[in-house]
Chain A
Amino acid sequence: NAGVTQTPKFRVLKTGQSMTLLCAQDMNHEYMYWYRQDPGMGLRLIHYSVGEGTTAKGEVPDGYNVSRLKKQNFLLGLESAAPSQTSVYFCASSYSTGRRQPQHFGDGTRLSIL
């Protein structure tokens, strides 16, 4: 029972570099989300997906891109990293709504941009 797995767990980048964060879930969830967590600001939604092949913008999408080619995977890309993107990134997944379902979170990726 892995749940939601995020890779890598830690990463240091230089300004302008690119990278991809991977999220994988084994619960057959339809919905997946990417958040960033910064001190004093809670969790803010970057992008989300309501099913395979679909993505949508959240609250803070600028500078990020996402893809959901397979139902179990949700990728978050930084094309040209900036120091303002230093944060802890969390992926979450849930069943589709109809009745409220909790979001299940991974343990995060700690990303530093120098």
Chain B
Amino acid sequence: QQQVKQSPQSLIVQKGGISIINCAYENTAFDYFPWYQQFPGKGPALLIAIRPDVSEKKEGRFTISFNKSAKQFSLHIMDSQPGDSATYFCAASIDNNQGGKLIFGQGTELSVKP
């Protein structure tokens, strides 16, 4: 019940296209859903996050869509660029004053072809 399932495992998109990565969770107590971006040889870095009281959050070319009833959320990258090539992780956590532990998805390796 603590798992977060992420798909696809890898994704190839042409420059200018839309990249879509999906995540699903079971634990309805999760109340914070961040996405992290990781470049080769680097640690993950927060990209964008959403709370379950909103259905969508947009920051530049990056949008999170959240479906509370389906227990699913997704990352959309509009006008994908070669510089977006990285591994993306969705995550979920519970704000229970016990460290804000994150449960990560399995990761998606995105490659944007020029």
* A interface, CB within 8 angstroms of B: 4, 31, 33, 35, 40-45, 48-50, 56, 58-59, 90, 92, 94, 97, 100-108
- Contact of A42 with B41 at beta-carbon distance under 8 Å, contacts A31-B99, A97-B100, A102-B46 already known: no
Pick from B9, B41, B97: contact of A107, CB under 8 Å: B41
For window 1-16 of B, CB contacts with A under 8 Å fall at 2, 4, 6, 9
Decide: A103 near B106, CB < 8 A? Known: A43-B89, A92-B43: no
Q: Is the interface of B mostly helix, strand, loop or mixed?
A: loop
| Total residues of chain B contacting the partner, CB 8 A | 27
Closest to B34 in A: A102
Q: Which residues of B contact A (CB under 8 A)?
A: 2, 4, 6, 9, 32, 34, 41-46, 49, 51, 89, 95, 97-107
Taking the closest CB of chain B, its distance from the CB of A36, in whole angstroms, is: 11
A48 and B44 form a contact (CB under 8 A):
no
Cα–Cα, bound, A40→B35 (Å): 17
